[in-house]
Amino acid sequence: MKRTGALSAGFAALSRGRLILLLTFCTLVLGGLSAAPLAPAMADAFRGTLAGDHLIRNHPDFAPVEVLDFWREKAAAIAGARQSMLWAALLGVLLQIFFAGGIVETLGRDVFSVRESRAAFWAGSRRHFGHNLKCFALFALLAAIALGAWLRLTGTLAKTLFRTAPPHSAGRGAWGILVWVVALWILGSLTLLYDFARAARRWRVGIGALAAFRKAWRQSRGLRLRGLGVLLFWSVIAFAALLIVFSAAWAQRTPSGPAVAVNLALLLLLLAVRPAARVAAWGSVLALFDASEPAAHRAPLASRGIPIDVSGSGDVPQSKAPPEKPPGESAWDDDPVLPAGLPPEA
């Protein structure tokens, strides 16, 4: 494992085209399933009437009226789509939790061939799903408590502090900025903690969710500012890319068939932005995590029970030295036991 800068690692992660495609494909399928209940209604309203023509040409008078009529007349289909979107979103969250295991297992490790990496990815996804689910529950709980408390506290305070202040007064403005900056900081910090807790499985295969959070808390000390910076960087990049692709797709007004095909291709690209940014952010976060993980703690891959085919490759790295327990390091106390049946570390 080469130690690289967090941002470089993020950019390097972008080369994982298949992973990005997989995530994009999942989001596309879920989006398509969500929209499916609307398909007959859209065909009826837009393909079967002049409304579609007005809409695609953005007729100044007729298009808005007909869109709103569609909204009203096809309310049942829209309600159906909304329901399916809800379920698809839930499924999407679970998929994300699932894929995180594979990402943690394989990203930033240059030890796998493509075939091995694929196998390790799926194995990691399966193996860490339960752990990641628990981590998500903890993250959601922490976020709800911390953000809820912060917003409630500041809301109550604001009522007292600004009871007689007019709207948009300087005090109110500064207060609002403070509230949201801190809220974002809380969310960012918890996200970093959550990512580190999941990354804990990178080297400590049996670590539990609570222990992983404790470990993440300790391990992210001194790294939080950098970590937040990295997350912010990729968020900004993603937002900018989304804006650009979205604007390009939105601005394309030509109603011809080929133009619509190009438009749909742009939408696909739009959907790939977030997966790419997330993979890059994972790359950066894992690089930070790896850098903070004492080398001695990194278990050899062969000992991790990952069903990768190493026959003939002969290049799976083995730890050269047994992990040393650092004196006075309590983190070591809650080390999990390696999975049964696996050989002890060499």
Partner 1 sequence: MTTRHASLRRLLGSIWTAAGIAAPAGVLAASPVRPPVVEYRIDARLDPKTHVVTGHERLVWRNPSDDLVSEMQFHLYLNAFKNNRSTFMRESGGQLRGDRAGEKAEDWGAIDILSLKNGAGTDLLASSRKIRPDGNDRADETVLAVPLPSPVAPRGEIVLEIEFRSQLPRIFARTGFVRNYHLVGQWFPKVGVYEPAGLRQRKAGGWNCHAFHANSEFYADFGDYDVTLSVPSSFVVGATGRRVSETRQGDRTSYRYVQENVHDFAWTADPRFVVHEYRFEPSRDVPPEWTARAAAELGMPAGDLALKPVSIRLLLQPDHRAARPAYEEGVRVALAFYGLWFGAYPYETLTVVDPPEDGLGSAGMEYPTFITGGTIAPLARWPLRKARFTQNVTLHEFGHQYFYGMIGSNEFEESWLDEGLNTDAEYRSMSLAFGARDLVELPGGIGIGSIAVAHTFSASEKNLDPILRHAWGYATESSYGVNSYMKVGLFMAQLRNDLGPEVFARAERAFFQQWSFRHPSTADFFDAFERSSGQNLSKYRSQIVLGTARLDWQVVSAKSERAPEDSGLFDRGGARVILEKGRPSGSGKKGAPKKRAPKRWESVVLFANTGDWPHGAGARLVFEDGRVVDRALSAEARWVRLRVFSTSHLAWAAVDPDHKNAWDANRLNDSKVLGVGRGAADTRGRAASFKYLGWTAALAALVQQLLWSLA
User: Is the CB of 49 or the CB of 313 nearer to partner 1?
Assistant: 49
217 DSSP 8-state letter: H
User: Is the CB of 166 or the CB of 312 nearer to partner 1?
Assistant: 166
Task: Evaluate whether 200 touches 212 at the Cβ level (below 8 Å).
Answer: yes
3-class secondary-structure state, position 329: coil
Compute the least distance from the CB of residue 30 to partner 1, in Å. Answer: 6
Compute the least distance from the CB of residue 193 to partner 1, in Å. Answer: 14
Task: Evaluate whether 155 touches 175 at the Cβ level (below 8 Å).
Answer: no
Give, as ranges, the residues between 6 and 65 that touch partner 1 (CB under 8 A): 27-28, 30-32, 34-35, 38-39, 42-43, 45-53, 55-58, 60-62, 64-65
Compute the least distance from the CB of residue 261 to partner 1, in Å. Answer: 9
Q: Does 284 contact partner 1 by CB under 8 A? A: no
* Range 107-128 burial, b when 16+ CB lie within 10 A, else e: bbbebbeeebbbbbbbbbbebb
49 DSSP 8-state letter: S
Q: Does 144 contact partner 1 by CB under 8 A? A: no
Compute the least distance from the CB of residue 23 to partner 1, in Å. Answer: 9
- Give the range of 9-17, 87-95, 290-298, 321-329 binding partner 1 by CB under 8 A: 87-95
Q: Does 157 contact partner 1 by CB under 8 A? A: no
Task: Evaluate whether 181 touches 150 at the Cβ level (below 8 Å).
Answer: no
User: Is the CB of 39 or the CB of 174 nearer to partner 1?
Assistant: 39
Compute the least distance from the CB of residue 25 to partner 1, in Å. Answer: 11
The burial of 263, by beta-carbon neighbours within 10 Å (0-12 exposed, 13-18 middle, 19 or more buried), is given as middle
The tokens describing 109, both together, are 């490790």
What totals of helices (H) and strands (E) does the chain contain, helices first? 11, 0
Q: Does 228 contact partner 1 by CB under 8 A? A: no
The burial of 256, by beta-carbon neighbours within 10 Å (0-12 exposed, 13-18 middle, 19 or more buried), is given as exposed
**For 79, left (φ over 0), alpha (ψ -120 to 50), or beta?**
alpha
Q: Does 325 contact partner 1 by CB under 8 A? A: no
| Site of interaction with partner 1 (CB under 8 A) | 27-28, 30-32, 34-35, 38-39, 42-43, 45-53, 55-58, 60-62, 64-66, 68-70, 72-73, 81, 85, 88-89, 92-93, 96-97, 136, 140, 143, 164, 166-169, 247, 250-251, 253, 255-257, 259-260, 263-264, 267, 270-271, 274-275, 278
